[in-house]
Amino acid sequence: MATETECARPRAQQRSITERIVPIQSLPDILACCARGRAHSAGIATRRHSPITMKATLSLLAATTLLVTNLLADPADLVKQRAKELINQNNVRQNVAPPSQTPQSPATATPPAQPQSLIRLEADLAAIKADSIVTPQQKQKLAAEIMAAAQTTNPSAAAAAKLAEDLSAAFASKPLTAGSRSRLVQELDAVLNPSKYPQAKMQAIFDDIQAIFQEKGFDRKHAAAISEDVKALVPR
């Protein structure tokens, strides 16, 4: 027997209109999206690429970019750079005159007088002992002394604070010897007051500061970070 149509049934047995309409929400995802008049592909893409997946993708992209950059770097240039850094460290170790001292001057020549704030800075750095905790007040004092030492430049307070923070951490880890501290402070004086050191080469000073910490046993990353902090003191 042929299937009885809905209209042929007695009225009491006919289903209501709402019963005969399938809710859009109960349709498959793709059909439901189409029923609402939207492209279903966008919904699928949204569900497929969760925040975690996107973060993982971005991390992989960043790592790939770094790897490609390292691969493209000229190995000869890297070798030259490392050799130069070893020479700088050896100069620090043998107490060769720092770059802030002009080549025409003998090694025993007296460097220009330093501001009192740098003298206090050197003393405060010497007071930081290994494995000690440097207080915020100590760091603020170091930053203030760095700012006060700038007689012919105008470094930002943020740059001085960053240098004070990293110097505090470095000295609390591996304090420098008296000779290295004196060398560091002289280099800082040349950066903050370049008019007193007209023959000094800034990049050579930055390299020497990195060498001071590498010679002490700091890894290249941390030594270079302190050098970059000093570089940030120079107005651009």
pLDDT, tens digit, for every residue of 151-205?
Answer: 989 999 999 999 999 999 999 999 999 999 999 999 999 999 999 998 889 999 9
Contact 118, 149 (CB under 8 A): yes
95 Ramachandran zone, left/alpha/beta (phi>0; psi -120 to 50): left
Q: Please state, as a whole number, how many other Cβ atoms lie within 10 Å of the Cβ of residue 35.
A: 14
- Quote the pLDDT of residue 30: 44
Does 106 have pLDDT greater than 80? Answer: no
Amino acid at 18: T
pLDDT of residue 109: 60
User: Among the residues of 2-39, which ranges form H helices?
Assistant: 17-20, 29-35
Q: What is the pTM for the complete model shown?
A: 0.62
pLDDT > 50? residue 46 = no
